[in-house]
């Protein structure tokens, strides 16, 4: 069994980006600028945005964090996005989800210019991704998983990949990427969800299992074939009085039991999470290069 170390792979990607940014700066070219919008004070969202801003600072990107309180009017948020769309200095815009109930996520996502939509949630980018067009911004978590498979040379061609979870941000786009005629890719993909019958039997046929449902330790050892590759996307905060923060992060895989049976497995934390950030930085770099 080998650990698919997302933290290490993400660092390699970020180190390369740092060199690329320095080269752009040295030749007088624009360096990437990411604008992140955070609404409210959700602890997890604050942590995610903070790590994105930190990554920007580490590799020489410019970052701007715009923080609204949770009562902000939808119109105010849309106006801010319009301002960022028109701001020539800004290459990438991300709005941290989820948003408060009075704000339409659909409206917000669709208001971001597809050319600056580095989260890859805009319907235009999703459409381009489905068509396999290179211009597409691919949403950061599925993109990060593909980069993790690529950098670690995990064979995917002809493999049966089972994805648990069909969300718009993880399971659904990943199912398309893994089935594309690409490298990595060329998998036969099964997408499972909350209404799937015989999930265990389906998982037992998988060469690659991606657990992206948000249920801590859901994937048990008796659901995994010997030698499978297991990718754990789940992030759930579980109360833990023994931790300084009062919680610990738990993935969707029962890691201790499942790991010995796998050929490769991602840990949580340190697996898909850092890869998501690396993919976002790659998207922002691409936005900058394409716009300038």
Q: Which stretch binds ligand NAD (CB under 6 A): 35-43, 49-57, 119-127, 161-169?
A: 161-169
Cβ-Cβ contacts under 8 Å for 181 (sequence gap 6 or more): 132
Question: How far is it, in rounded angstroms, from Cα 237 to Cα 197?
Answer: 28
Q: Does 188 bind ligand NAD (CB under 6 A)?
A: no
End-to-end alpha carbon distance in the chain: 44
* Whether 245 is catalytic: no
Q: Which stretch binds ligand NAD (CB under 6 A): 57-65, 118-126, 186-194, 281-289?
A: 186-194
Q: How far is the CB of 291 from ligand NAD (least distance, A)?
A: 26
Q: Which stretch binds ligand NAD (CB under 6 A): 84-92, 105-113, 175-183, 212-220?
A: 212-220
Residue from 90, 103, 233, 253 binding ligand NAD (CB under 6 A):
233
Nearer to ligand NAD, 102 or 168 (CB): 168
Per DSSP (E only), the strands in the chain are 2-3, 33-39, 62-68, 92-95, 160-164, 188-192, 208-211, 229-232, 236-239, 247-250, 264-265
| Strand, helix or coil for residue 239 | strand
* Whether 52 is catalytic: yes
Which of 80, 91, 96, 254 is flagged as catalytic? 96
Residue from 7, 11, 67, 193 binding ligand NAD (CB under 6 A):
193
Q: Which stretch binds ligand NAD (CB under 6 A): 17-25, 26-34, 206-214, 241-249?
A: 206-214
CA atoms 277, 279, 285, 287: torsion sign: negative
Residue from 94, 164, 210, 228 binding ligand NAD (CB under 6 A):
164
Nearer to ligand NAD, 41 or 194 (CB): 194
Q: Does 141 bind ligand NAD (CB under 6 A)?
A: yes
**What are φ and ψ of residue 113, in 5° steps?**
-60, 130
How far are the Cα atoms of 70, 177, 210, 268 from residue 244, in angstroms, in the given order?
Answer: 27, 39, 30, 18
Residue from 51, 58, 167, 186 binding ligand NAD (CB under 6 A):
167
Q: How far is the CB of 90 from ligand NAD (least distance, A)?
A: 23
Contact criterion met (CB below 8 Å) for 80 and 94: no
CA atoms 189, 137, 147, 8: torsion sign: negative
Question: How far is it, in rounded angstroms, from Cα 211 to Cα 265?
Answer: 11
Q: Which of residues 252-281 bind ligand NAD (CB under 6 A)?
A: 272-273, 276
Question: How far is it, in rounded angstroms, from Cα 20 to Cα 59?
Answer: 9
Nearer to ligand NAD, 24 or 264 (CB): 264
For ligand NAD, the binding residues (CB under 6 A) are 141, 164-167, 169-171, 192-194, 196, 199, 212-215, 233-236, 272-273, 276
Kindly list the catalytic residues. Answer: 52, 96, 119
């Amino acid at each position: 069994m080998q650990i698919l170390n997302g933290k290490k792979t993400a660092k390699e990607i970020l180190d390369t980006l740092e060199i690329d940014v320095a080269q752009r700066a040295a030749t007088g070219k624009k360096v990437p600028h990411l604008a992140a919008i955070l609404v409210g004070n959700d602890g997890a969202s604050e942590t995610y945005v903070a790590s994105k801003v930190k990554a920007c600072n580490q590799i020489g990107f410019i970052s701007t964090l715009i923080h609204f309180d949770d009562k902000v009017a939808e119109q105010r948020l849309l106006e801010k996005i319009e301002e960022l769309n028109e701001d020539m200095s800004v290459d990438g815009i991300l709005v941290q989800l989820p948003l408060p109930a009075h704000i339409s996520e659909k409206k917000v996502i669709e208001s971001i210019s597809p050319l600056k939509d580095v989260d890859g949630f805009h319907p235009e980018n999703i459409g381009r991704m489905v068509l396999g067009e290179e211009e597409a911004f691919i949403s950061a978590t599925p993109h990060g998983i593909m980069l993790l498979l690529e950098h670690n040379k995990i064979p995917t061609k002809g493999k049966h990949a089972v994805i648990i979870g069909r969300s718009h941000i993880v399971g659904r786009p990943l199912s398309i990427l893994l089935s594309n005629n690409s490298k990595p890719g060329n998998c036969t993909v099964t997408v499972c969800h909350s209404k799937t019958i015989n999930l265990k039997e389906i998982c037992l046929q998988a060469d690659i299992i991606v657990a992206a449902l948000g249920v801590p330790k859901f994937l048990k050892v008796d659901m995994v074939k010997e030698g499978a590759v297991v990718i754990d996307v789940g992030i759930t905060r579980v109360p833990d009085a023994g931790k300084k923060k009062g919680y610990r992060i738990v993935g969707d895989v029962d890691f201790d039991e499942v790991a010995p049976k796998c050929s490769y497995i991602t840990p949580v934390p340190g697996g898909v999470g850092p890869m998501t950030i690396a993919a976002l930085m790659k998207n922002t770099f691409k936005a900058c290069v394409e716009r300038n």
